[in-house]
Amino acid sequence: MADKQIKKKKMHKRRQMRIRKRLFGTADRPRLTVFRSLKHIQAQLIDDASGRSLLGISSNALKDQLKDIEGKCDKSREVGKVLAAKAREAGISQVVFDRAGYLYHGRVKALAEGMREGGLKF
């Protein structure tokens, strides 16, 4: 059982690196990366040129705002909208989407759609 979990993590890391080697974020077009846990979703905007995170948000940090919303996909969409609003305030209108080895469906897709609804371009 432990070998299966180790292999699963190793394969996820390989997918993540395969995607990341093609993507590069700059100050005016940062990389939007996603982390998905069993309960929460996190997203952050990263400037790879300077090696720093510009903005970040988590569904855990928005607990009060998300308490009336049922379902993780709907919460992910709302997290995307909030992050898009913060990015617009910071003067960011375009991002490079890094799905970090996750399939583009479910919560990851809902987050991306929320970002688009908030006004960001991919």
Tell whether 7 is covered by a domain.
yes
pTM as predicted: 0.83
Q: Give the pLDDT confidence score for residue 116 in this predicted structure.
A: 95
Q: Give residue 58's pLDDT.
A: 94
Tell me the per-residue pLDDT of 39-82, one tens digit each, with 9 for 90 and over.
999 999 999 888 899 999 999 999 998 889 999 999 999 999 99
17 lies in some domain = yes
Greatest mean pLDDT range, 8-12, 107-111, 118-122: 107-111
In a domain, 122, yes or no: no
- In sequence order, the 6+-apart residues with CB closer than 8 A to the CB of 100 are 16, 19, 20, 33, 34, 35
How many independent structural domains does the chain possess?
A: 1
Determine the pLDDT at residue 71. 93
